[in-house]
Amino acid sequence: MRGSRLKPSTSRRSSLSLILVLALPILLSACTWGGNHSQLNPASEPSHLINRIWWIMFWMSVAIEGLVAGLVVLALIRFRRKAGDPDPVQISGNTRIEIAWTIAPALILVVLLVLTLTTMINVSEPAGDKMRVTVTGHQWWWEFDYQGMNIVTGNEMHIPVNEPVHLDLRSADVIHSFWVPSLQGKRDAIPGHDNTLWISADKPGTYRGECTEFCGPEHANMNFIVVAQPRTEFDAWVKNQQQPAATGQTGLEAEGAQTILTQACAGCHTINGVKGFAGKVGPNLTHIGSRQNIAAGTLDNTPANLARWIRNPQEVKPDNKMPTLGLDDDTINKIVAYLESLK
């Protein structure tokens, strides 16, 4: 036989590869399904439907990959060449089998396509009146403007449980994408376009959302939360949000109310009810004391974190648009006290 290179090698590699190919998916998938930021933890009808398709496709893929990999590994074991083996039968095809394995995947894919199209219809926005929120993506935070309700807030959206909410997605600069995995698929916010999305939660909770279109250096830190509340709690929240900023502070908080007016904050931020505080670059701070996170989900909202943020925003979220103002600790403490009082 020509070709002295064809001496077969010996090793257990075929069985090892079999184990790897089959075990890896099982091993790595048998873990937690994620908290409030995972589509595998659905909390709304659309995401339940999508989650169901996922599992169908997952098991289908396991079966197909298992079949292919299994046959390949089996072939490696069963048909390995040993010294002195004759040439195998020189088959070069079988039209019937090939037609069969063209039609079979085609049928499976047709089923998948039908599932796709029906699900698209089933997750489309329900008709009827609903609350509408204009969502504007900024580099690198989210603005939520409750249409007709005089509420503008940042990075934290409250919605009533079990009621669909219509979102109008806008961008102030580059393309962003609004995604709350537990509640709904994502939709891009594209300058010049008026994309829409709808969300609804079927149980109360806090659901994490992320920007999912690369929008610059701090794309990683452009997170937000959607808080779903029972109707009564939601109404209370609305009422509170519609109030202008809290007044009547005392002590350190009052000093902060004065100090903040002497700093550059008003150039970028708005505090309703405070004269001259109407900047539009950064999030609205009217009720910042009541928010769970700051800096678009980068830090939990605690006095210590807020102080850290104001002291050096560039250290917390490098390249974001809030400059480091070089304030001394005394000033910072006063401002933090004031802001935390804005519940």
Partner 1 sequence: MATVTTPGISIAPPPTYAPGKSAAAVIWDWMTTVDHKKIGVMYIFLGIIYFIVGGVEALLIRAQLATPNGKVLTPTQYDQVFTMHATTMIFLFIIPVFAGFANYFIPLMIGARDMAFPRLNAFGLWMLLFGGLFLNSSFFLGGAPDAGWFAYAPLTEPAYNPGRSMDFWAAGLTLLGISSIVGSINIIVTTLKMRCPGMRFNTLPLFVWTTLVQNFLLLFALPSLTTAAIFLLFDRHLGTSFFKAENGGDPLLWQHLFWAFGHPEVYILILPVFGIISETLPVFSRKPIFGYIFIAWSSVAIGFLSFVVWVHHMFATGLPDVALAFFASSTTLIAIPTAVKVFNWTATLWGGSIVTKTPLLFSVAFLTMFPIGGLSGVSLAVVPFDWQITDTYYVVAHIHYVFFGGSALGILAALYYWFPKITGRMMSEKLGVWNFWLVFIGLNLTFFPMHMLGLLGMPRRQWTYHEGLGWNLYNFVASIGAFTIAAGILLLIINLVASFRSGERAGADPWDAWTLEWATTSPPPEYNFVKTPVVRSRRPLWDQKHPDDQDWMRGEH
Only segment of 72-80, 129-137, 152-160, 230-238 that touches partner 1 (CB under 8 A): 72-80
Which of 19, 48, 98, 315 binds partner 1 (CB under 8 A)? It is 98
| Residues within window 272-301 making contact with partner 1, judged by CB under 8 A | 297-298
H/E element holding 145? strand 141-146
CA 182, CA 48: separation in Å to the nearest integer? 9
Q: How far is the CB of 61 from partner 1 (least distance, A)?
A: 4
CA 59, CA 55: separation in Å to the nearest integer? 6
Environment class of 329 (CB within 10 Å of its CB; exposed 0-12, middle 13-18, buried 19+): exposed
Which of 69, 172, 254, 325 binds partner 1 (CB under 8 A)? It is 69
Q: Does 313 bind partner 1 (CB under 8 A)?
A: no
Instruction: Please name the amino acid found at residue 264.
Output: A
Q: Does 38 bind partner 1 (CB under 8 A)?
A: yes
Q: How far is the CB of 124 from partner 1 (least distance, A)?
A: 7
Q: How far is the CB of 340 from partner 1 (least distance, A)?
A: 22
Only segment of 71-79, 146-154, 160-168, 328-336 that touches partner 1 (CB under 8 A): 71-79
| Residues within window 175-214 making contact with partner 1, judged by CB under 8 A | 175, 177, 179, 181, 184-188, 190-193, 195-196, 208, 210-214
Q: How far is the CB of 332 from partner 1 (least distance, A)?
A: 23
Q: How far is the CB of 307 from partner 1 (least distance, A)?
A: 19
Residue indicated by tokens 């893929």: 61
Q: Does 5 bind partner 1 (CB under 8 A)?
A: yes
Give the orientation angle of helix 95-122 with respect to helix 45-78, to 10 degrees: 160
Only segment of 3-11, 147-155, 233-241, 321-329 that touches partner 1 (CB under 8 A): 3-11
CA distances for 108 relative to 62, 113, 120, angstroms? 14, 9, 18
Peptide bond into 140 cis (omega under 30): yes
Q: How far is the CB of 135 from partner 1 (least distance, A)?
A: 13
| Residues within window 106-135 making contact with partner 1, judged by CB under 8 A | 106, 109-110, 112-113, 115-117, 119-120, 123-124
CA distances for 130 relative to 127, 145, 173, angstroms? 9, 15, 28
Which of 48, 59, 64, 264 binds partner 1 (CB under 8 A)? It is 64
Q: How far is the CB of 204 from partner 1 (least distance, A)?
A: 20
Cα three-residue angle 20-23-72, rounded to 5 degrees = 55
| Residues within window 238-277 making contact with partner 1, judged by CB under 8 A | none
Q: Around 35, how many Cα atoms within 13 Å sit in the side-chain half-sphere?
A: 7
CA 35, CA 55: separation in Å to the nearest integer? 18
Q: How far is the CB of 87 from partner 1 (least distance, A)?
A: 6
| Residues within window 142-171 making contact with partner 1, judged by CB under 8 A | 169
CA 219, CA 205: separation in Å to the nearest integer? 25
Which of 15, 29, 240, 243 binds partner 1 (CB under 8 A)? It is 29
Q: Tokens representing 249?
A: 């502070």
